[in-house]
Structure 1
Amino acid sequence: MLKQTPGKIYLADQRGHEHAAHYNRNSTFNFGIYNDVHKAPFRRLYVLNEEQLAAASHSTYTPKQPVYVVVLPVTGALEVEVNVSDKTKVEVEQAWLQFVAPGQSFQITNPYPDSVISFLQIWILASATPAAPGQVANFTLDYNLNKLAPVLPAVAGAGEQPFALSLACLHGREELNYCLQREKSAVFAFVLSGAFEVEGRLLHTHDGLALWNTETVEIEALSNHALLLLLELFNA
């Protein structure tokens, strides 16, 4: 009998949905007014939201726990502001990473006067205040076609971030294996577009998959230019 890695699928059509005049939000885990007993955080992963923000508008967020916040623009650039007069522009094929303390607020703004933007927002629980400041990381998917592109790789040393984030853009039927960087890590895969088979599970656009008790993750694209986000969560 083939060994199957233990895991849990989070279907796209079972995400929490919140709508207002200036935004749409789909939440894989409990967030805001969305609360489901089956959508509690997975290990350190507390928030995974796919959001759309109307033209010339903004949204403000205030975590209740110390978290690393990752923001990935999907369509259109955006601006992120943690402190007054400290605004950072983040483009497509960039990732914004920042530690945010409990009760500290940050704001995401759509700088376009007549266009909607979309982005992915991820919160990961922090166990200590990091020594390193926030950053904007660059990546290129075309250059890394059919292989994993390290967007936010692990950094060794005191105060390192407790995760590593990669993206994979694959043609149909292309395969690859992801080897975990730490013992006893867990993995969360999220399909940004297309279809994949990940560790024997069929995933479509905006489906998620949590995996644990494994050393490698087998990935196969089932459509062309399929895009997968892979998050390794280091053991607490």
Structure 2
Amino acid sequence: MFLCNDESIVGGKVTFFLCKEDSLQIFIPITGGIDIVANGKGFALETGQVQVLNMGKGEVLEISNPYQNDVINYMQFGIKTEMFLMRASEMLFGFNFEKDQNQLLEIISNPKLPFKLSMGIFAGREEVIYKMQSLNHQFYAFIIDGAFEIEGRLMHPRDGLALWDMEQVELEALSNNAIIVVLELTPNP
């Protein structure tokens, strides 16, 4: 992974993103939604959705807030990739925290992708053990809201943590409605 952005855009405004690496860009709206234009094609995302775009070095994204009077917030993760097996492709995934609380939901898991993405919303004192697919994979967690203890480390909102050489990772929510994003990254060959 080479990019983790926690971005906000005021009502009706636009921002641009220049891709500096051949990569997979992952967008997760946190509050509100975002509109993305990539190579003339538009994507509209709302909370409960994750969009993955395969981008080449030098490509530019236009990211805008479709709401005139509200500030929106979204997460963007960038993962370097050597393979352009899905060039110009896009992948849209959905999730529903309401029906699946207190567990990590596997949102994206595809052997062709160099990552696995999970998310969850937890009540206080709920615990989960994340089992790594391989010992040589890397673990990255980002706290959207609330507090967690991850492998004995206290994590607050907007904190991130990278771990490696782990078979499993213990997570415990320390507050109600605690939200976490977990990426398991496959090292480049």
Shorter chain as normaliser: what TM range? over 0.9
Equivalent of residue 59 in structure 2, options 104, 107, 111: 104
Equivalent of residue 138 in structure 1, options 86, 89, 94: 94
Q: What is the aligned partner in structure 2 of residue 12 from structure 1?
A: none
Q: What is the aligned partner in structure 2 of residue 61 from structure 1?
A: 17
Q: 1:170, 1:69 → 2: CA distance?
A: 26
**Structure with more strand by fraction:** 2
Equivalent of residue 169 in structure 1, options 121, 135, 153: 121
Q: What is the aligned partner in structure 2 of residue 118 from structure 1?
A: 73
The gaps in structure 2 that reach 5 residues or longer are none
Q: CA deviation at 1:55?
A: 1.1
Work out which of the two has the higher radius of gyration on C-alpha atoms and give 1 or 2: 1
Give me the TM-score of the superposition, normalised by structure 2: 0.95
Q: 1:55, 1:212 → 2: CA distance?
A: 39
Q: CA deviation at 1:56?
A: 1.1
Instruction: Give 1:104's aligned amino acid.
Output: E
Q: CA deviation at 1:131?
A: 2.7
Q: CA deviation at 1:73?
A: 0.5
Q: CA deviation at 1:172?
A: 0.7
- For 2:125, what is the secondary structure of its paired residue? coil
Q: CA deviation at 1:215?
A: 0.9
Percent of aligned pairs with the same amino acid? 32
Q: 2:45, 2:178 → 1: CA distance?
A: 23
Number of residue pairs matched by the alignment: 187
* Corresponding position: 1:191 with 2:143: yes
Instruction: Give 2:52's aligned amino acid.
Output: L
The one-character-per-residue Cα deviations of 1:52-94 (angstroms, maximum 9, x if unpaired) are 101111111111210110111011111111012x111001010
Q: CA deviation at 1:182?
A: 3.0
Equivalent of residue 175 in structure 2, options 203, 220, 223: 223
C-alpha contact 1:93 1:139 (8 A) present in aligned 2: yes
* Corresponding position: 1:74 with 2:26: no
Q: What is the aligned partner in structure 2 of residue 129 from structure 1?
A: 84
Equivalent of residue 133 in structure 2, options 174, 177, 181: 181
Q: 2:56, 2:171 → 1: CA distance?
A: 35
The one-character-per-residue Cα deviations of 1:88-118 (angstroms, maximum 9, x if unpaired) are 1001010110111001111111111221111
Give me the TM-score of the superposition, normalised by structure 1: 0.77
Q: 1:214, 1:128 → 2: CA distance?
A: 26
Q: 1:101, 1:149 → 2: CA distance?
A: 29
Q: 1:131, 1:203 → 2: CA distance?
A: 35
Structure 1 stretches (4+) deviating beyond 6 angstroms? none
Q: CA deviation at 1:51?
A: 0.8
Q: CA deviation at 1:144?
A: 1.5
The gaps in structure 1 that reach 5 residues or longer are 1-44
C-alpha contact 2:33 2:44 (8 A) present in aligned 1: yes
Q: 1:181, 1:223 → 2: CA distance?
A: 28
C-alpha contact 1:183 1:235 (8 A) present in aligned 2: no
Equivalent of residue 92 in structure 1, options 47, 61, 64: 47
